[in-house]
């Protein structure tokens, strides 16, 4: 199952305990994943849709528990959906009106008495804000698998709902953006911290753990990569210097001969030639008697200077 599928499964397993939160979750589902239609002659229809039967069963549970309403459960299968099935929970006429009243979306002053704006009281308590987001996530949310990066989206049906969702998220400490994609207004955010907070807000405990694991792994991998890169750079520098030293020593060997050098320099030259990969302190330990890093550096420089002098004497300046 996908990461989002796992979260959905976890969220639909538990129904909110308090009545306030049940209403908040149902409001999120209807506003972001449903629609209300005025059929004329005082007839209404309120529908919540999802491609997942479990989500619609969850909405049904909430409606029964919080408003004592039972909607019609329908599965729609059309070729328009690419042979996918869409599930719907529909409330008709008086049931639709009762639902809207229970969710405080019935407003005598609004067009057709239906308000698209949730009651501000819904967002006063943290528990209800979280439940609203949870309901919305179930009908229109998506979170990328943590191994593939950090991004979460809520595809709202219109700009008003998208902006509303952005405000609620911001009150939960998540700063989101809104972008338009075809007919949808997508609320999204893409950083590890925000996605992690979002999963906590949703109450998706298992997903939070998966996410933290993935983030820790990535952190470790980055640190290791940084360290390796740094070591490789240092090693490259050591090798380049060693190659230059060896070139100089070979030049002296071919021109003046190493046996013409003073014994400490000659020993140094031989040790360097035979140990390409050793660093300065390692070279120092191989000498008899051993000497320190700066002593080695000094002797190698003298060898290079001798080679340089020999080259210029022969008119081969490099
Ligand atoms: Zn609540």
| 114-168 per-position pLDDT tens digit | 887 888 888 889 999 999 999 999 999 999 998 888 999 999 999 999 999 999 9
- Cα 65 to middle of ligand 1, angstroms: 14
Q: How far apart are CA 224 and CA 169, in angstroms?
A: 35
At 300 the pLDDT is 92
Q: How far is the CA of 179 from the centre of ligand 1 (A)?
A: 29
For residue 88, pLDDT over 90 is answered with yes
- CA of 236 from ligand 1 middle (Å) equals 61
Compute the mean pLDDT over every residue in the chain, rounded to the nearest whole number: 89
CA of 172 to the centre of ligand 1 (A): 14
CA of 88 to the centre of ligand 1 (A): 25
66 alpha carbon – ligand 1 mean position (Å)? 12
Ligand 1 center from residue 200 Cα (angstroms): 16
Q: What is the pLDDT of residue 118?
A: 85
Residue pLDDT, tens place only, 42-61: 889 999 999 999 999 999 99
Residue 81 has pLDDT above 70, yes or no: no
Centroid of ligand 1 to alpha carbon of 22 (angstroms): 7
- 291-306 pLDDT tens trace: 999 999 999 999 999 9
Q: What superfamily in CATH does domain 3-203 come from?
A: Homing endonucleases (3.10.28.10)
For residue 132, the CA-to-ligand 1 centroid distance in Å is 9
Q: Is the pLDDT of residue 183 over 90?
A: no
How many A from CA of 19 to the centre of ligand 1?
7
Q: Return the closest-CA partner of residue 280 out of 288, 289, 306, 271.
A: 271
Q: What is the pLDDT of residue 318?
A: 54
Å from CA of 276 to ligand 1 middle: 71
Ligand 1 centre to CA of 54 (Å) is 22
Distance 203 CA to ligand 1 centre (A): 14
**What digits encode the pLDDT tens for the residues 26-42?**
999 999 999 998 888 88
Residue 110 pLDDT class (50, 70, 90 cuts): confident
Domain residue extents for the chain: 3-203, 239-313
For residues 238-249, average pLDDT: 85
Does the structure show a pLDDT above 90 at 73?
yes
**Euclidean distance between CA atoms 296 and 289, whole angstroms:** 12
CA of 113 to the centre of ligand 1 (A): 25
**Distance from Cα 163 to the centre of ligand 1, integer Å:** 21
């Amino acid at each position: 199952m996908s990461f989002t599928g796992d979260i959905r499964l976890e969220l639909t397993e538990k129904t909110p305990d308090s009545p306030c939160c049940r209403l908040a979750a149902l409001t999120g589902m209807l506003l972001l994943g449903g629609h209300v239609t005025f059929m004329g002659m005082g007839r209404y229809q309120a529908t919540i849709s999802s491609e997942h039967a479990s989500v619609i069963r969850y909405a049904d549970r909430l409606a029964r528990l919080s408003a004592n309403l039972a909607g019609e459960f329908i599965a729609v299968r059309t070729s328009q959906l690419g042979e996918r099935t869409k599930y719907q929970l529909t409330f008709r006429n008086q049931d639709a009106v009762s639902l809207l009243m229970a969710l405080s979306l019935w407003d005598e002053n609004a067009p057709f008495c239906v308000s698209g704006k949730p009651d501000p009281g819904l967002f006063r308590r943290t528990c209800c804000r979280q439940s609203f987001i949870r309901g919305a996530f179930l009908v229109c949310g998506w979170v990328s698998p943590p191994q593939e990066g950090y991004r979460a989206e809520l595809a709202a049906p219109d700009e008003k709902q998208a902006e509303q969702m952005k405000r609620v998220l911001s009150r939960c400490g998540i700063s989101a953006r809104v972008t338009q994609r075809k007919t949808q207004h997508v609320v999204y955010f893409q950083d590890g911290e925000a996605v992690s907070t979002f999963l906590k807000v949703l109450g998706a405990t298992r997903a939070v753990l998966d996410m933290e694991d993935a983030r820790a792994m990535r952190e470790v991998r980055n640190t290791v990569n940084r360290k390796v890169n740094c070591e490789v750079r240092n090693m490259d520098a050591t090798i380049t210097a060693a190659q230059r030293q060896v070139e100089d020593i070979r030049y002296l060997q071919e021109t003046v001969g190493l046996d013409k050098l003073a014994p400490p320099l000659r020993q140094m030259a031989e040790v360097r030639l035979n140990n390409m990969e050793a660093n300065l302190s390692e070279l120092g330990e191989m000498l008899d008697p051993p000497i320190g890093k700066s002593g080695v550096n000094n002797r190698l420089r003298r060898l290079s200077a001798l080679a340089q002098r020999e080259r210029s004497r022969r008119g081969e300046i490099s």
